[in-house]
Structure 1
Amino acid sequence: MKDLLKNVLVGIILSVLVISCKSSQSAVAQKPLAKHVILIGSDGFGAYAFENAKLPHLRKMMADGTYSLQARSVLPSSSAVNWASMIMGSGPELHGYTEWGSKTPELPSRILGKGNIYPTVFSLVDEQMPSAKKGVSYTWGGIGYLFEKDMVDLDFNGRTDEETIEKAMDFHLENKSTLTFIHLTHPDNEGHEIGHGTPEYYTAIEKVDAQVGEILASVKKAGMMDDTIIIFTSDHGGIGKGHGGKTLAEVEIPWIIYGTNILAKGKLNSSIVTYDTAATIAYALGLKMPDFWRGKPVLEAFSN
């Protein structure tokens, strides 16, 4: 009888521990770990480029923050499907955008939010932080089909990356934006027109690095860096003049996170998929994530 009671008691304790562990795994940060998040996405920036390119500003983010050069896109490794996944916290099997130029889901979205699309991280901010400012500034027009336009305070399609960055930073610094997404069209243009891994491609890569340096300098000059997390990533890499395939050169993307409450630990061990970006942003802002998202925050990056 004593052994039976002992076994029952042990079973109850283990059940409580399992429930507790599951709760802690699904819990959001108890409080925001940053007041501001800037997501910089560089189109067609393959992780392989770090082998040869001169990237002082991105490497500084990697050294003072943490990173992976083995993060992966979803398949197909092309644009719209991956930009959607990045901000929607799920892959194409749920959000339904399946092609490089998707403007509407080819596969019906499993969930439709208030914006009548699969809910993005912007919808989380809109619902849980209604007074927060948020914006999207992008050079490739295809981005404009992938977020809830009525839920952001900036929706700007620039003609050039320079114009896109200028508009984004003016908005971000003036409004002390909670979440700003900056999409850059380079080096994808060079990848398609001239080829991945060409001198022209690397020149474009290095220009992106310089622009990231300008963004960092602007945030620091405004005195906001102590409250800011910056994530740099991409939608896909490429081979030849194309993308969309299943090679590591096409699928592996850089994923760099830097700023307040981010460990200066260098290389991450975590396996990262692009939809983990939205979950990581939500975690950093202390937001509750929907259970239908498939992404998970990259907790290894955080100091807490």
Structure 2
Amino acid sequence: MKKLRLLAVLTAFFTASCFCFAQNWKADHVFLIGLDGWGAYSVEKAEMPNVKSLMDAGCYTLKKRSVLPSSSAVNWASMFMGAGPELHGYTEWGSKTPELPSRVLNEHNIFPTVFSELRKAAPDAEMGVLYEWDGIKYLVDTLALNYYAQAPDYNQYPTALCEMACKYITEKKPVLTAICFDNPDHVGHADGHDTPAYYAKLKELDGYVGRILDAVKAAGIYDNSIIIVTADHGGINKGHGGKTMQEMETPFIIAGKNVKKGGAFEESMMQFDCASTVASIFGLEQPQVWIGRPMTQVFK
């Protein structure tokens, strides 16, 4: 009998501890949707009703700046790692390993990511990263994840990533998920930025965002979720990597539980502030080596 009482007390203490820990979170689920090559210049003209409904429901900026160069791997790394290339060491569009020695390495021998930081704080949290571009997996610390997967070639299976994401969300109800589309970047390279083809691709991608939101609702977790939609870089003509605002400025849109219906915010934001903002949702103490700042003004 004494053993049963002790077990009951320990169980109650553990449950209470978990509850108190979760109470430090602004939401129990975060979904970060990334659109590669989505320049902020395009938002006003784009037909993206699902994205714009999130803008209306939450907060956003169209002036988040990339790090330099304004290209893929270096900016996805900064988005997840809370620092710039001078510290995390990924400096090129296709970096798979750091060209500069990372200033700090975590227990998985990679620069600390928001995924590894959440894993330490919440060992049982379900986390996943789904993507079309293979380069993403080198930048997220896959050892910290429960699940990561690349979608089949979107030229043959354009809806594959969306379908994978919806399945994962409804089955696992993850705590933190990144869903990284490889467009409109490819259309930007092939047809050009700010072209009819580019806007047609944005309309298509908005449809996938809508389906992902529906999956979150179907999973029964929408009211306890925060949705972020953002990008690694923009573009100009048929390229990117340079120092124009068309290449460097990208949207950052956030909506959901405990997010203000505040519209556009004017405070400056950099790519590495994304990781800090996600970390703040989960009440994480960010690593000293991170230089990102959470966008605390967007929260209630």
What is the TM-score normalised by the length of structure 2? 0.89
Counterpart in the other structure of 1:167: 164
Equivalent position to 2:88, from 55, 77, 95: 95
* TM-aligned CA deviation for residue 171 of structure 1: 1.7
Counterpart in the other structure of 2:41: 48
Gaps of 5+ in 2: 1-21
Matches of 1:51 and 1:162, distance apart in 2: 25
Map of 1:1-304 to 2, 5 A cutoff?
31-159=24-152, 160=154, 162-303=159-300
* TM-aligned CA deviation for residue 166 of structure 1: 1.8
Matches of 1:59 and 1:151, distance apart in 2: 32
Deviation by residue 1:162-193 (Cα, 9 ceiling, x = unmatched): 22222223222212211000000110010011
Is 2:129–2:147's contact at 8 Å kept on the other side of the alignment? yes
Structure 1 counterpart SS, 2:129: strand
Bigger drift between 112-121 and 75-84 goes to 112-121
* TM-aligned CA deviation for residue 152 of structure 1: 0.6
Deviation by residue 1:251-282 (Cα, 9 ceiling, x = unmatched): 00000001000000100121111111111111
* TM-aligned CA deviation for residue 247 of structure 1: 0.4
Matches of 2:142 and 2:46, distance apart in 1: 36
Is 1:141–1:157's contact at 8 Å kept on the other side of the alignment? yes
Is 1:30–1:286's contact at 8 Å kept on the other side of the alignment? no
Is 2:126–2:146's contact at 8 Å kept on the other side of the alignment? yes
Residue type of the partner of 1:117?
I
Matches of 1:108 and 1:39, distance apart in 2: 28
Structure 2 counterpart SS, 1:261: coil
Q: Percent identity at matched positions? A: 50
Is 2:259–2:299's contact at 8 Å kept on the other side of the alignment? yes
Deviation by residue 1:10-36 (Cα, 9 ceiling, x = unmatched): xxxxxxxxxxxxxxxxxxx97100000
Matches of 2:168 and 2:205, distance apart in 1: 20
Gaps of 5+ in 1: 1-28
Counterpart in the other structure of 1:19: none
Matches of 1:300 and 1:51, distance apart in 2: 23
Residue type of the partner of 1:300?
Q
| TM-align CA RMSD | 1.4
Structure 2 counterpart SS, 1:32: coil
* TM-aligned CA deviation for residue 57 of structure 1: 0.9
Matches of 1:30 and 1:93, distance apart in 2: 35
The structure whose Rg is larger is: 1
Aligned residues: 276
* TM-aligned CA deviation for residue 226 of structure 1: 1.0
Is 2:126–2:145's contact at 8 Å kept on the other side of the alignment? yes
* TM-aligned CA deviation for residue 289 of structure 1: 1.1
Structure 2 counterpart SS, 1:220: helix
Is 1:156–1:164's contact at 8 Å kept on the other side of the alignment? no
Structure 1 counterpart SS, 2:177: strand
